Amino acid sequence: MDADDIMHPERLRKQKEYLESNPIIDILSTGYYLFIDDPFQIVSHTNFEETKLLNFENIAKGSAILHPSVMGKTDWFKNNKYDALLSKCQDQELWERTVSFSNFARLSERLFYYKIDHPVNIKKIIETQLCSAKIAKARNKSDFKKYKIMKAYAKIAFYKSCQILRLEEYISNKRLERLPKDRMLIQNAKENVKEFLKV
């Protein structure tokens, strides 16, 4: 969790209670809001319909688990280490490596407020996609592996082109346009943040 991020005051209690009531679950994440600059500039939110167990296909999409929102069993983390050789996406590699023998779940409730880059940080995106391709190459699922590698390199080519053409602001605004936005939901979330922070 970065210093800019915020969690709902009830997040830890709700996740702890869920894990205690569902002892088969190893890792539990939550829904979340996205904001830019400060927590009152909420621009989007997840629309996870229900709390659910996650499979490999969910995990491999990369957005199913928000790393800062994760709570899990201590023993699980002791037995499943992050790959220290990776400079990026250590969390994604860990989830994909362990999902076949672990139980991951996600609360639909939005209990986290996550800051995103605006405009987008193209260098960071390219580094993440290179890491994603590296992870995919290590997989045994050949068809899905090819898809993930091709997708990663296609994104790299696209963002490098945008970088050359200096289109960071344009693609940042387009990204915001595509994100889900329920105005009433966002307004309520802003009021909640105001209450959390007492401002």
Q: What is the CA radius of gyration of the chain?
A: 18
- Greater pLDDT, 171 or 144: 171
Residue with tokens 């296609």: 154
Q: Are 30 and 107 in contact (CB under 8 A)?
A: yes
C-alpha 96/C-alpha 55 separation (Å) is 9
pLDDT at 85: 86
In the chain, alpha helices (H): 11-21, 56-60, 74-79, 90-98, 122-137, 142-164, 168-178, 183-197
Element (H, E) at 159: helix 142-164
pLDDT at 199: 58
Predicted confidence band at 86 (pLDDT cuts at 50, 70, 90)? Answer: confident
Q: Which two tokens stand for residue 89?
A: 């996406």
Protein fold of 6-197: Spore Coat Polysaccharide Biosynthesis Protein SpsA; Chain A (3.90.550)
Mean pLDDT within 150-158: 94
Distances (CA, A) of 111 to 51, 135, 143: 13, 29, 35
pLDDT at 135: 86
What's the one-letter identity of residue 93?
Answer: E
The per-residue pLDDT for range 1-19, each reduced to its tens digit, is 677 899 999 999 999 999 9
Q: Are 87 and 80 in contact (CB under 8 A)?
A: no
Predicted confidence band at 59 (pLDDT cuts at 50, 70, 90)? Answer: confident
pLDDT at 160: 95
Mean pLDDT within 56-77: 90
Predicted confidence band at 185 (pLDDT cuts at 50, 70, 90)? Answer: very high
Q: Are 63 and 97 in contact (CB under 8 A)?
A: no
pLDDT at 141: 61
Quick one: CA dihedral 4, 2, 74, 65, positive or negative? Answer: positive
What's the one-letter identity of residue 110?
Answer: R
- Greater pLDDT, 26 or 88: 26
The overall average pLDDT reported for the chain is 91
Euclidean distance between the first and the last CA atom of the chain, given in angstroms as a whole number: 22
pLDDT at 2: 75
Q: Is beta strand 104-115 parallel, antiparallel or unpaired with respect to 42-45? A: unpaired
The per-residue pLDDT for range 102-140, each reduced to its tens digit, is 999 999 999 999 999 998 999 999 999 999 898 888 775
pLDDT at 1: 64
